[in-house]
Amino acid sequence: MQSETELREHHASLQQRAQRLASQGQSRVDRLAAPGSTASATSATSATSPQEPDATSHASHALQDAKDEAAAAVQCHRQSGLFLETANSLFESLAAPSPSSDDDEWREQLLFRAAEVLETAADLIDEGETHLQRSINALD
């Protein structure tokens, strides 16, 4: 099992990744939703050019996929935040005096739970980063 210091370091790293995901994900959502955005302009150009209807449909579908993936990235960030907050509460509990006479067992249980919630947060952040990358790739 990881030590409290290692778990706190992992927590800090995950918080930074989550913050970056939130910023990049929301920025991507905003750019894709903005009128005249590069993606919207590409889609509109495709719609007015004498291309085949399949090309217009493909561009519209790609834009919608990019929007959906960006929104999923933001949602993963929000979900990961709940687990990061739980880990923070567990660390605060570790700093408080043990309510039990068996301090070592109590601390180990809290550390085990912290590791569990951090693992879940990491999985959600990984998933969010994957969605963000898919959003970027959808318009390539």
Count of other CB atoms within 10 angstroms of residue 19:
12
Rounded to 10 deg, the angle between the 4-33 and 103-138 helix axes is 30
Query: For the segment 28-45, what is each residue's pLDDT rounded down to a tens digit?
Result: 999 999 876 654 444 444
pLDDT tens-digit map of 68-96: 999 999 999 999 999 999 999 999 999 88
Residue 114 has a CB neighbour count (10 Å cut-off) of 24
| Extents of the domains making up the chain | 4-138
pTM, two decimal places? 0.84
- pLDDT for the residue numbered 47: 45
d(CA 128, CA 72): 7
